[in-house]
Structure 1
């Protein structure tokens, strides 16, 4: 093998981009053998394949995307279509998807759309014209589909944080499990009167998180602190709920509140604090979402449930690659576990919490 560390200089004396011929020459093999080794094709000794790949890495060789597309009849690109134009949910999903694709030589194109079917159709057509290999469809809520007729799309599709049509494949956070973990954590800290303040009941996530609250209390032989308070996903509603608790006699107040999202939790904490009620000493508070711009700026910093959106994106991307490669993938919706992010608003953390 020739010296793979030698610089590749062009006629002007600047470093040139390594080619497949450079890799073959440095490894002492033919161009066709080098190509087979780098594309994981053909039969050869594993030692030879690994040696060629090591040489390519030393030379900083990067395969030509257009050539790869012609050979493999693939564009090595994925599309990410979303109506979450604010990016609250889609940006972490896109980060996880891109991270999973980076070392596989696959690029991700993000397309944010409004809920306008015609605009969606035009964007999907543009992706098909560019021969995108597969499509990830990401939404703002798990019980709604995007306004687009995707059965006619001639590429594999995976849904993330959106409703999964019959026969399709989707990934969503385990809302019920995340709520159960949050309330179980509060119970482990000795809290017994745990209230629940949440969003509009038209969201399926609201019902699932309420079920998690109820299940954790039932397992601990504790009663629900009245009915769940349902309203807007807003700090204003959280503040109003906090004022309601403040109006109760001290002996009848909750000693903890599990909130359906971080905005509600932050508004609730403001109402309690302004009324002289200490968080977490008097009333512990836990949120849901781990929206860090809210959670870390809350005083005290908010313990909350992280929906693991990056992991949703990563798993969706890997599944999409399997579909593109023709591997069997079972249809249906997968619920991935959430993680509890412990900060100061709940009191001392339990040993098992993250």
Structure 2
């Protein structure tokens, strides 16, 4: 009868018996411990492969005090922001031999608590919290027992909680300065709801770089293309129209582009447009392709991985760090010949 026929998992004792060695020798060979002849070690490893034996990760974690696993909890169901962060994070952790478990909390505190409880039960070495917006979020609601915890594209309520965020203000300043460098001096800003910290920071960056601040040129509304179309129509109805528009995200920017194209306004000849997020599937599909600010989320994830490894090794990190954004110029702002 084969192992599959019995519907049971092979044990360390099965491996030892198959290899013809003692239980202690099999344990040493599989855990790379002790002094064994290479021939004996290979015999045990070969027996484990033949039987399909897998060590008890939880037991090993208890034995060595480290599971080489990390949990990632997000409420970004769409994955627009979480996926590039996870990609960067996983790349760094993989190189360190650490596996990543991802859980989706979907704005449900009870679901999040269950995820945290399960991850703690797996003896993860650290936790990363992220989401679809970078605002402050409630504390997890469970005692983490000093477990290394890092917030990425998110902020914790706990005093001094280590957080990694994009520099929204600096990114907005980059976009506005780019428009100014093209000779535009009447630059509008259309953004999302003011209760988002990122919206306030991006407006601050815009105001720091715009040549002349005109309240009529600053509009706030929903994060949507529909709002962009409405805002574009409003700006075109002004007695003095803008010659450039910096949008708070790419969805709004695309809506503005549609509103201008419907009215035969030249882009960028009459009005140059820049967005924020560098959501490539949207920015590159816009006509003309959209200049946008890239938050470098993959780099944010990579930095999170490096920092979390340092925390797992015992280094204490606190406070908020903002990493720089970059501008990706495209045809929506290119100067005319």
Per the normalisation by structure 1, the TM-score is: 0.76
CA separation of 1:153/1:261 partners in 2, compared to 1, >3 Å: closer, same or farther?
Answer: farther
CA-CA distance at 1:152 after TM superposition: 3.6
What secondary structure sits across from 2:189 in the alignment? strand
- Greater than 4 Å deviation, 4+ residue runs: 30-33, 64-71
CA separation of 1:132/1:275 partners in 2, compared to 1, >3 Å: closer, same or farther?
Answer: same
CA distance in 2, matches of 1:144, 1:236: 27
CA separation of 1:294/1:65 partners in 2, compared to 1, >3 Å: closer, same or farther?
Answer: farther
Counterpart among 324, 331, 334 of residue 344 in structure 1:
331
Residue correspondence of structure 1 range 9-48 to structure 2 within 5 A = none
What secondary structure sits across from 1:91 in the alignment? helix
CA separation of 1:328/1:121 partners in 2, compared to 1, >3 Å: closer, same or farther?
Answer: closer
Deviations 1:289-319 (A, max 9, x none): 1111211111111110111111111111211
**Mapped pair 1:81 → 2:73:** yes
Residue correspondence of structure 1 range 165-184 to structure 2 within 5 A = 165=157, 166-184=159-177
Native 8 Å contact 2:61 2:123 kept in 1: no
CA separation of 1:71/1:257 partners in 2, compared to 1, >3 Å: closer, same or farther?
Answer: same
CA-CA distance at 1:154 after TM superposition: 4.6
Structure-1 residue corresponding to 2:248: 260
Residue correspondence of structure 1 range 167-316 to structure 2 within 5 A = 167-217=160-210, 222-227=211-216, 228-249=218-239, 252-316=240-304
CA distance in 2, matches of 1:188, 1:119: 49
Stretch moving more, 307-316 or 177-186? 307-316
Unpaired runs of at least 5, structure 2: 1-27, 39-54
Per the normalisation by structure 2, the TM-score is: 0.80
Native 8 Å contact 1:93 1:314 kept in 2: yes
CA RMSD of aligned residues (A): 2.7
CA distance in 1, matches of 2:145, 2:233: 51
Unpaired runs of at least 5, structure 1: 1-19, 25-29, 34-63, 350-354
Native 8 Å contact 2:74 2:103 kept in 1: yes
Native 8 Å contact 1:120 1:147 kept in 2: no
Deviations 1:130-165 (A, max 9, x none): 111100000222223156215445511000111233
CA distance in 2, matches of 1:198, 1:225: 15
Aligned length: 291
Native 8 Å contact 1:243 1:271 kept in 2: yes
CA-CA distance at 1:246 after TM superposition: 2.3
